[in-house]
Amino acid sequence: MNNFTTAGLCDLYAHTPHFQIAEPLFQTFGSKAAFSGLITTLKVYENDELIADVLSEPAMNRVLVVDGGGSHHCALVDAKLAGLAVANGWQGLLIYGCIRNSAEIAELPISIKALHAYPKNAHKRDYGERDVLITFAGVNFRKDHYLYADADGIIVSETVLS
């Protein structure tokens, strides 16, 4: 799944059903430019505990999509959590919220798409939900659908695209 461009996928599949393109809201952090894989979803609000729990699990060809409510009041992922994602084989993260420690994350072999960097860490309240349908950036994200992300954008498909 790693030899792709989102532009090329659009040329081939944009006319097919269950193909979605996310609105261009996200910045890229980390040293990798692109990532793809099966989606795991989380819905949290200003809390990183569930994110830490999930990133602690080994992941093969999976990406984590986090609906953080678009909050700009704290960071949901820091360098420690990004390092945990790398150590456990996560392909990439899509965060509808903020990250922090962006200079440290820039050195890690992962790609994280997030709204912005923000220095304040997350609160510890309202644990969150896992593997539920989440919607942001004009896209419905579902567990076990496929996500493709690179410098040009983010694509979600119900089926694998080759």
Closest Cα to residue 100, out of 33, 42, 27, 15? 27
User: Which helix (H) or strand (E) covers residue 139, if one does?
Assistant: strand 139-141
Distance CA 46, CA 76 (A): 7
Distance CA 157, CA 5 (A): 14
Token pair of 94 as six digits = 């899509």
User: Which helix (H) or strand (E) covers residue 73, if one does?
Assistant: none
Triad 36, 60, 1: Cα angle to 5° = 30
99 strand-pairing partners: 77, 117
Q: Is 100 annotated as a binding residue?
A: yes
Could you give the 3-state DSSP secondary structure of residue 122?
Answer: coil
Label the pairing between strands 92-99 and 19-21: unpaired
For the annotated binding site for substrate, the residues are 100
For the annotated binding site, the residues are 100
